[in-house]
Homo-oligomer: A and B are copies of this chain.
Amino acid sequence: MAVNLAGVADDSLAMAMEALGQRARAAAGILANASTDAKNRALRAAASAIRADAPAILAANRRDLATATGRTMTPAMIDRLTLDDRRIEAMAVGLEEVAALPDPVGTIESVVTRPNGLRIEKVRVPLGVIGIIYESRPNVTADAAALCLKAGNAAILRGGSESTHSSAAILAALATGLEAAGLPGDAIQRVPSQDRAAVGILLTLDRYIDVIIPRGGKSLIQRVAAESRIPVLKHLDGICHVYVDKAADLAKARAIILNAKLRRTGVCGSAETLLVDRAVAASHLVPMLADLIGAGCEIRGDAETCALDDRVLPATEEDWSTEYLAPILSVRILGGVDEAIAHIATYGSQHTESIVTEDPEAAERFLARVDSAIVMHNASTQFADGSEFGMGAEIGISTGKLHARGPVGVAELTSYKYRVRGNGQTRP
């Protein structure tokens, strides 16, 4: 498709994308008024279909993997692309868990009766049509679609080209679920072309799509931000900080930084920079460095940190704004909570930051003045996760301030409207 030989193929792609948007919009109108029960039945039937279709999904995945090995993919990318029985079961369970979540649609957030007798209700409604652009993990097809569906939204999915067969097979199972519940199959669709131009067209379909959620690396997110005419829910990098204050408990500091950095290094809530008050560099940072290096973590420190342990490599200016997603940690020694707040304001990504201290005043200052989606006191940044917040599944962590900040779950995939009931009132 869209080979751009004489403009003809491009026109056909544009027409296909237009039709895709129209179908999604029509499905969204039906889904917005679907019952909670129908949506839950669709999710549970989709879970059954994923289990029943496991052989077909695995076969499709093997086709993707066969193509992938011929490309330049890192072992981590191959791992993210690979499905097995366990991952397929996890997808099915994920769908059932979303079915079990409360339905935000129809919730009345507030109601006022005005002196003139007008009754004004603020009620949760779906966003409408959500476009999700993601990279290699094919299970995002099921996870993201389930959250959109539960919130009453139609979804248009655009996965990475390397997972195209896997995603198609998963989508077929989701379609079975929608059909079983009498809901329109167009409620969950894939972009029909892997052409890069298809994403460009998608980002212009503001007549049909209400919000775009990009999930992937920096270059994808930047492209979407630059090109999109549709509002974007940003999921930028997580350059998360742990600040160890002069009043920090040593045992808590050691446990928190080890967990925040190394529990899993590939998640956006993993710590990338450790800031330490100069007053406890000798007492606290020295044993923390030994712990981390002993656990296989590379340390890139400022000059003062390098002087504490000769296994520490010198950090460059770039290190302070780098999301490693790897067992690497940048470390800086500074003069107290205000300097830590200033460092985070300069280099952070407004994701998640934690202070370790027994001083309530320092803690409150940090929590109030660090302008991030999640601010923590004496806890690991790895708790930055919708399920750990009690929200159930999440589509990611929003680092923007508009609409949704922090974990984006089912409720964050809704909007609201005002329902006004009168008895013939006119405005004076």
A residues with CB within 8 A of B: 29, 32-33, 112, 114, 118, 120, 125, 127-128, 210-211, 225-226, 229, 231-233, 249, 251-252, 255-256, 258-260, 263, 345, 363, 367-369, 371-380, 382-383, 388-390, 400-403, 405-406, 415-427
Contacts and interface: CB of A to CB of B under 8 A. Distances in A.
B383 A420 contact: yes
19 contacts: A29-B369, A114-B390, A118-B383, A118-B388, A120-B389, A120-B390, A252-B423, A263-B427, A371-B417, A372-B417, A375-B418, A375-B420, A377-B421, A379-B420, A379-B421, A380-B425, A382-B427, A402-B403, A403-B403
B231 A231 contact: yes
A426 B127 contact: no
A245 to B, nearest CB: 14
A285 B404 CA distance: 45
A400 B403 CA distance: 11
Contact of A375 (B231, B256, B419): B419
Nearest to A127: B401
Copies held by the complex: 2
B425 A378 contact: yes
Nearest to A232: B231
B114 A375 contact: no
Which residue among A232, A373, A421 has the maximum number of chain B CB atoms within 10 Å of its CB? Answer: A421
B402 A406 contact: no
A259 B426 CA distance: 6
A125 B372 CA distance: 10
Nearest to A118: B379
Given A426-B380, A427-B259, A112 B389 contact: yes
B425 A383 contact: yes
A421 B225 contact: no
Nearest to A225: B229
A378 B390 CA distance: 41
A130 to B, nearest CB: 11
A33 B368 contact: yes
Contacts of A373: 417-418
Given A255-B424, A259-B427, A402-B402, 8 more contacts: A32-B371, A251-B424, A263-B426, A263-B427, A375-B419, A377-B422, A383-B427, A388-B427
A424 B255 CA distance: 8
B378 A423 contact: yes
Contacts of A419: 367, 375-377
Given A255-B426, A263-B427, A425-B380, A405 B401 contact: no
A252 B32 CA distance: 30
A250 to B, nearest CB: 11
A285 B78 CA distance: 67
Nearest to A381: B427
Contact of A128 (B112, B229, B401): B401
A72 to B, nearest CB: 31
Nearest to A414: B401
Contact of A256 (B125, B226, B263, B424): B424
